[in-house]
Amino acid sequence: MVNKKNILLPLVITAIIYSCGTKDKKATTVTQKPEVKIDSTLLTDSSWGLITKNTDFAGLQAIYGASNVKDERVCGPECMDSNDVTIIYPEKNKQITVHWKDSAYHKTIVYMEAWFPESPYHTAAGIKIGSPFKNLLQLNGQKITFSGFGWDYGGLINSYNNGTLEKSAIIFQLGQTEDAGTELSGDIELNTNMPEVKKYMDKILVSQISLSLNREEY
């Protein structure tokens, strides 16, 4: 007669060994997280694509390639002085101008700006160069105060009047379409509650977008 114990014992041992091996394989299985891609054209209060407040000149070259990052001396407002800046993608629609802290040139970015008409840079709310001023006003939720057009400081936003954009590090400058006329031009202060501004609201747009990455240095 066949001893059942002699048959079952090897089977039990085999099952235990298999079970332990399976557990070990499960324990060593690593789940890889999908790679998160950063939108290089997105502006937030703390970043411009891959650029952050800690990015230096070498960091810009690593992000965009050394051949796309150039130093240049540009004329300041009303050409009263000149500024040493770094240009990313010079003379292209995706050009970015980087302004440095003078005492830490190439080390500390103070602010960045773009103004080419076909510039791809945008905020999470979809505001970009060419966006209608009324979109910015709607996003802010309060009236917007800005300077008149037609001079070096024209179209600068002076106040969001405690709207949602008041504390944002993203800075917008306004412009007009070519057929807007001169009623809103000159060194004057305007706001979106004024009848003359409402009259030309559809002819006002975002003409420049900037980001202050180290506002304490600005």
pLDDT tens-digit readout, 6-60: 444 444 444 444 444 444 444 455 556 556 678 999 999 999 999 999 999 999 9
Assess if residue 77 is contained within a domain: yes
pLDDT tens-digit readout, 98-156: 999 988 899 999 999 999 999 999 999 999 999 999 999 999 999 999 999 999 899 99
- In three-state secondary structure terms, 19 is helix
d(CA 94, CA 41): 9
Assess if residue 126 is contained within a domain: yes
Task: Flag the least confident range among 13-17, 70-74, 84-88, 181-185.
Answer: 13-17
Assess if residue 82 is contained within a domain: yes
Assess if residue 7 is contained within a domain: no
Reference 142, options 196, 175, 191, 203; nearest CA is 191
pLDDT tens-digit readout, 148-167: 999 989 999 999 999 999 99
User: Would you say the C-alpha torsion 205, 207, 213, 218 has a positive or negative sign?
Assistant: negative
Q: Judge whether 170 and 195 are in contact, CB under 8 Å.
A: no
Assess if residue 47 is contained within a domain: yes
Q: Judge whether 163 and 142 are in contact, CB under 8 Å.
A: yes
Task: Give the count of domains, the chain.
Answer: 1
According to DSSP, the β-strands at 42-43 and 122-123 are parallel
Could you tell me the two tokens for 38? 């950063």
Which CATH number is 170's domain given?
A: 2.60.460.10
Residue-number span of the structural domain to which 212 is assigned: 42-217
The pTM of this model reads 0.79
Assess if residue 144 is contained within a domain: yes
- Within 10 Å of residue 49's Cβ, how many Cβ atoms? 16
